Amino acid sequence: MDFRISKEQRAFVDVVRRVCQKEFKPRAVKYLDGTWPAENMKSLAEIGVLGMAVPQEYGGSGLGILDTVLVLEEIGKVCYVTAMAALGELGVQTRIIAAHAPESIRQRILPRVAAGQAMLAICMTEPNAGTDVPNYATNCDIKGDRVALNGVKTLISRADIAEMFVVFTRVNKVPGAAGIGCVLVPGGVKGLAAKASFHTMGGEYLSEVVFENVELPLENLVIRDNGMKRLLSAFNTQRCLNPAICLGLAEGALEEAVRYLRDRSAFGHRIGDFQGLRWKVADMYVEIEAARGLLYRAAVSGGEFPDPTLAAMAKIYCNEMSIRVTSEAIQIHGGYGFTDEFTVSRYFRGARYGSLGGGTTETLRNLVGKKLVEQMDLATGMLDMGMF
Ligand SMILES: Cc1cc2nc3c(=O)[nH]c(=O)nc-3n(C[C@H](O)[C@H](O)[C@H](O)COP(=O)(O)OP(=O)(O)OC[C@H]3O[C@@H](n4cnc5c(N)ncnc54)[C@H](O)[C@@H]3O)c2cc1C
């Protein structure tokens, strides 16, 4: 087994790391008030990051999931808001457009995504159903060669600036999971209204989005007829990308904590001389490396999409690890750690997001638990675990 990343991956991550450390790190604090990180997105487009999920024929690089994990980890290490902004172009919405949109839409939007000129929004969550996808109320009726979309989505990232909305919707009012499909809605169409309604503890704004009789060509309904399974399998990729940001946040917090151990004194010693605090950073590091192993393995599992169980486990572990590690980094900083002036509080705010978006850790535990209970080979009493 070779655990090393390739020379090409290392070279690309080095470029990303330099930009992150030099440009993004000093700017990170200013995005806490909801300012969009426009200058960082421009830099990410220039070095080729925003085109990573865009196939080569549309101006991107079409790189793999592990490459994307490595890059989001670097960005997460310095700035949660920028990592989340980049996730919008590296994640599920770009992949759905690349895989399912008609050629005319791909040609129009994907080169603009790669160039950092078009932002995308994914609209799943509704006021009365988030995790509960089969009960979405948003509906898209087919009327000849047109569709009409009606409904309300909420907690949507980037909706105030998005050039295209990837919307999960019921089709023709068919109830339950069987009725879920996906429609692409260009920003600015008649009947679409987006309002930044919530300011998060991570920094960014989230919007409520209303679709009132939004009329579109039938070809914009890119997935219909039992689309939920296909849509959710694309989410296994997201389940590797969200934890990559968490891994980066934890790494950034550990670096801050170690620096503080070396700088701060108490009782005539560096606080880094106290065994109790050395053990804290040692445990933080152990958790980070365990998380990295699980996440990288999930990222290289499967074909088009990662293995669902590994991706779920990686997400659960990275999400919860990052809360523990960033919280310990605050503890090491004492009272200063709780202030906005010290970076560690920002890492903790960002880490708190991970277990909420892209599949909550409760629903992912449902998935892993179900697999365990249902796959047990009753004859041998063995589970299909590990690498064999
Ligand atoms: C920063 C941020 C950005 C976001 N961006 C977007 C976006 O761009 N697009 C978008 O569509 N959404 C977005 N969301 C919303 C996010 O995806 C939802 O909050 C998430 O899916 C959970 O849905 P909910 O909030 O409705 O919670 P609910 O589904 O109501 O769940 C409430 C609680 O019940 C638990 N629960 C639900 N069902 C079960 C079950 N079967 N078993 C055990 N526990 C269960 C959940 O885990 C959770 O703890 C964003 C959220 C945040 C915080």
pLDDT at res. 181: 94
Evaluate if pTM is beyond 0.85.
yes
Average pLDDT over residues 52-61: 97
- Beta carbon of 169 within 6 Å of any ligand 1 atom: no
Q: Which CATH architecture has domain 7-114?
A: Orthogonal Bundle (1.10)
User: Cβ-count burial of 370 within 10 angstroms (0-12 exposed, 13-18 middle, 19+ buried)?
Assistant: exposed
Report residue 55 as tokens: 């196939």
Report the CATH superfamily, name and number, of domain 120-225: Butyryl-CoA Dehydrogenase, subunit A, domain 2 (2.40.110.10)
Q: What percent of the chain has pLDDT over 70?
A: 99
Chain segment 329-383, per-residue pLDDT in tens: 999 999 999 999 999 999 999 999 999 999 999 999 999 999 999 988 888 888 8
256 alpha carbon – ligand 1 mean position (Å): 30
Report the CATH superfamily, name and number, of domain 229-375: Butyryl-CoA Dehydrogenase, subunit A, domain 3 (1.20.140.10)
362 alpha carbon – ligand 1 mean position (Å): 10
- Beta carbon of 357 within 6 Å of any ligand 1 atom: yes
- Beta carbon of 353 within 6 Å of any ligand 1 atom: yes
Q: In the structure, what pLDDT confidence band is assigned to residue 42 with cuts at 50, 70 and 90?
A: very high
352 alpha carbon – ligand 1 mean position (Å): 13
pLDDT at res. 225: 72
Give the position, in ligand 1's atom list, of the atom nearest the Cα of 88: 8
Describe the crossing of helices 308-332 and 275-299 by its angle, rounded to 10 degrees: 160
- Beta carbon of 124 within 6 Å of any ligand 1 atom: yes
Give the position, in ligand 1's atom list, of the atom nearest the Cα of 132: 29
Q: In the structure, what pLDDT confidence band is assigned to residue 199 with cuts at 50, 70 and 90?
A: very high
360 alpha carbon – ligand 1 mean position (Å): 6
- Beta carbon of 9 within 6 Å of any ligand 1 atom: no
Q: In the structure, what pLDDT confidence band is assigned to residue 302 with cuts at 50, 70 and 90?
A: confident
Chain segment 63-86, per-residue pLDDT in tens: 999 999 999 999 999 999 999 999
Nearest CA to ligand 1 atom 24: 130
Average pLDDT over residues 45-50: 98
What are the residue boundaries of the structural domains of the chain, listed by start? Answer: 7-114, 120-225, 229-375
Helices (H), the chain: 7-19, 25-27, 38-46, 65-78, 80-90, 92-100, 103-114, 228-263, 275-299, 308-332, 343-354, 361-375
Average pLDDT over residues 1-6: 86
